[in-house]
Amino acid sequence: MSEENFKVTPWEIEGKVDYQKLIKQFGTTAIDKQLLEKLKNKTKSKKLSAFFRRGFIYSHRDLEKIIDNIDKNNFFIYTGRGPSGKMHIGHLIPFMISKWFQDEFDCNVYIAMADDEKFVFKDKLTFEEMEKTAKDNFLDISAIGLNPDKTFFFSDIEYISKLYPVALKFSKKINFSTAKAVFGFNNESNLGQFFYPAVQIVPTTFENKNCLIPAGIDQDPYWRIQRDVAEKLGYKKVVAVHNKLLPPLQGLEGKMSSSVGDTAIFLDDDSKTIEKKINKYAFSGGQPTLEEQRKKGGNTEICVVYSWLEILFEDSDEKLEQRKKDCKSGKILCGECKKYLSEKISKTLKQHQENKIKNSPLIEKYKHSGILAQKMWK
Ligand code: TYM
Q: What is the pLDDT of residue 254?
A: 66
**Beta sheet of 109-113, edge-to-edge order:** 29-30, 57-61, 239-243, 210-216, 75-81, 109-113, 151-155
pLDDT mean across residues, the chain: 94
Strand blocks (E) in the chain: 7-9, 12-14, 29-30, 57-61, 75-81, 109-113, 151-155, 210-216, 239-243
From CA 295, how far away is CA 183, in angstroms rounded?
49
Residue 244 has pLDDT above 50, yes or no: yes
User: 331 C-alpha to center of ligand 1: Å?
Assistant: 38
**Cα–Cα distance for residue pair 94/79, rounded to 1 Å:** 7
Choice from 51, 92, 201, 219 to test ligand 1 binding pocket (greatest atom count within 8 A of CB):
219
What per-residue confidence (pLDDT) applies to 257? 73
**204 alpha carbon to ligand 1 midpoint, in Å?**
15
First to last CA, the chain: 51
Confidence band for 317, pLDDT divided at 50, 70 and 90: very high
Q: What is residue 274's predicted lDDT score, i.e. its pLDDT?
A: 97
Nearest atom (ligand 1) to Cα of 248: 15
Distance between Cα 90 and ligand 1 center (Å)? 9
Cβ of residue 91 lying under 6 Å from some atom of ligand 1? yes
355 by Cβ neighbours in 10 Å (0-12 / 13-18 / 19+) ranks as middle
Instruction: Over range 271-299, report the average pLDDT.
Output: 92
On whether the CB atoms of residues 39 and 214 are closer than 8 A, the answer is no
Our answer on whether the CB atom of 90 is closer than 6 Å to any ligand 1 atom is yes
Angle at 121 between CA 120 and CA 125, to 5 degrees: 75
Residue 114 CA to ligand 1 centre (angstroms): 10
User: Does residue 261 have a pLDDT over 70?
Assistant: no
The residue whose CA has the least distance to atom 30 of ligand 1 is 80
- Please work out whether the CB of residue 81 comes within 6 Å of at least one atom of ligand 1: yes
Task: Please give the C-alpha separations between residue 281 and each of 97, 250, 277, in angstroms, as whole numbers.
Answer: 28, 6, 6
The average pLDDT across 273-277 equals 96
Better-scored residue on pLDDT, 294 or 254: 294
Within its chain, how far is the Cα of 67 from the centroid? 21
For residue 259, pLDDT over 80 is answered with no
Distance of CA 367 to the CA centre of its chain: 21
Q: Is 251 helix (H, G, I), strand (E, B) or coil?
A: coil
Q: Across the chain, which distance is largest between two alpha carbons, in Å?
A: 68
- Write down the pLDDT at residue 372: 98
Q: How far apart are CA 44 and CA 271, in angstroms?
A: 35
- Read off the pLDDT of each residue in 194-214 and give the average, rounded to a whole number: 97
Taking only the tens place, the pLDDT of each residue in 161-178 is 999 999 999 999 999 999
Q: pLDDT tens digit string along 14-55?
A: 888 899 999 999 999 999 999 999 999 999 999 999 999 999
Question: What's the 219 CA to ligand 1 centre distance in angstroms?
Answer: 7
Q: How far is CA 262 from CA 93, 154, 253, 274, in A?
A: 19, 31, 14, 10
Expressed in angstroms and rounded, the spacing between residue 82 Cα and the centre of ligand 1 is 7
pLDDT at 6: 86
**pLDDT one-digit tens code per residue, 4-13:** 578 888 888 8
